[in-house]
Structure 1
Amino acid sequence: MKKALIIFVLFPSFILAQTNFEKAEKLFNDGKYNQAQLVFESYLKNNPNHLKTLEYLGDIASHNKTWDKSITYYKKLKTIKPNEANYYYKYGGALAMKSLEVNKIKALGMVGEVRSSFEKAIALNPKHIEARWALIELYLELPGIVGGSESKAIKYSAELRELSPVDGYLSRAHIEEYFKRYEEAEEQYRRAVLIGGSKICYQALADFYKNKMKQPDKANKVWEEYRNKKQ
């Protein structure tokens, strides 16, 4: 009888908590991030280790570019659940964005943790595509003296090609474009279009022609090809 009474008393609170989380989640999915944040924060007070709430709040902070907040949320997530690859990926991403806002000396001190976070994500999930893209970008942007490496960027691009041929071709095109080897970049973009055929692939090739090659006519032909394909 006593147990039944406890359940009866607590049940409305449980329902209310679930309703608040679902309300916040709907606000988030509707793009109403500031409203969602308030409800998630309220929910978190009574559920301090609720993984999805912490992740949503980290994502909202990232959307708002409040990197210190997002770093805090993602760090707590990987502490609570250290075997979840995505938490390390998101933590590394927020840390990388934060490094762009600090002085160069401090930023260089953050590079190791950024890199190890992405590598950890891959170690936990060998099929993690986004972490490899992040490492490619990192190795391209870093000066050689502090770990930048074209060969390592190419290595991760080759791994992407094994996991997802489209991502492999697009990432290799990005590398070739970065080093202004435009002929090779064009070939890789064309392969991505041939294999993938998605709007993203056509967009990448069109942007390449328009912004890098300064050939708007070719960019228009790419979109024409895409439209004809969709008909």
Structure 2
Amino acid sequence: MKFLFVLLCNILLFSNSNDFEKGELLYKQNKFQEAKVLFLNCIKSDPNNIKAIEYLGDIAGHQKNWDEAISHYKILKEKYPSTANYWYKYGGALGMKAKSVNKFKALTMIDDVENAFLKAATLDKKHIDARWALVMLYIELPGIVGGSEKKAQKYAVELMELSKVDGYLAKGYIDEYFNRFKKAEANYIKAHEIGNSKTTFQKLYNLYLNKIKDKAKAKKLIEQFEK
């Protein structure tokens, strides 16, 4: 009897592992719905499969099912309250839900969004995404509910210390938001000189094309980037 029990346990563990590996492969192929079925199988047999829960949260995020994503990330941050990335993902899902509901409902969610990002930034002094989230949050929020360029600049400075590219991009983002296009251009140019990536190119190109409206500069930038 004991032998049969052990055998059954081994079969279940193998099946769980197989489902997870297949689900992970499907996820990487952007086959989210198929991956979701397999990850759900994983947590049915092992409710503490943290990676499967995280993948389910990520899939819900891709599918814009914000309540579902929040539910999964809430489990993670409560089980592992010292893991910065779980707080960051929880705050991100909350923030996206806040953007999808009416303004009154969104106002009741702002503190939770901010606190989640602040917690992530506090737990991990090198968490770039959490600092980017705080920059964007403080810039987009009206001053009456906590928005502040000063707060945004604080995290832009922290980004600069972690990554020059992200620091200049963040400062450029703030300047662009407030229509300080010349300053934004200077910051984006510095970011592009250092990073020379698709992201840095796109930020500068969009500024030239849509804000400064200088087609000549936009064309020249494309030619330089293609070289």
Q: How many residues align?
A: 227
Within the alignment, does 1:223 sit opposite 2:215 as a pair?
no
Distance 1:64 1:125 in 2: 28
Pairs within 5 Å for 1:80-229: 80-228=79-227
The SS at the match of 2:47 is coil
Distance 2:126 2:206 in 1: 28
Native 8 Å contact 1:154 1:172 kept in 2: yes
Unaligned 5+ runs, structure 2: none
**Alpha-carbon offset, residue 9 of structure 1:** 3.7
Tell me which stretches of 4 or more aligned residues in structure 1 moved more than 2 Å. Answer: 2-10
Of residues 40-49 and 119-128 in structure 1, the stretch that sits farther from structure 2 once superposed is 40-49
Deviations 1:200-225 (A, max 9, x none): 21121111101111222211211111
Of residues 3-12 and 148-157 in structure 1, the stretch that sits farther from structure 2 once superposed is 3-12
Distance 1:88 1:13 in 2: 31
User: What percent identity do the matched residue pairs reach?
Assistant: 49
Which TM-score applies when normalising by structure 1? 0.94
Distance 1:39 1:14 in 2: 14
Distance 1:148 1:208 in 2: 23
Within the alignment, does 1:23 sit opposite 2:55 as a pair?
no
Distance 1:85 1:101 in 2: 25
Unaligned 5+ runs, structure 1: none
Native 8 Å contact 2:43 2:52 kept in 1: yes
Pairs within 5 Å for 1:62-73: 62-73=61-72
Distance 2:66 2:137 in 1: 18
Q: Aligned partner of 1:223: which letter?
A: I
The SS at the match of 2:189 is helix
Distance 1:199 1:17 in 2: 39
- The answer for the alignment partner of 1:42 in structure 2 is 41
**Alpha-carbon offset, residue 17 of structure 1:** 1.3
Which TM-score applies when normalising by structure 2? 0.96
The SS at the match of 1:100 is helix
Native 8 Å contact 2:16 2:41 kept in 1: no
Distance 1:61 1:47 in 2: 20
Distance 1:195 1:25 in 2: 34
Q: Aligned partner of 2:62: which letter?
A: H
Distance 1:55 1:169 in 2: 31
Within the alignment, does 1:75 sit opposite 2:70 as a pair?
no
Deviations 1:37-68 (A, max 9, x none): 11111221111121111100000100111100
CA RMSD of aligned residues (A): 1.3
Distance 1:133 1:221 in 2: 29
Distance 1:60 1:13 in 2: 24
The SS at the match of 1:113 is helix
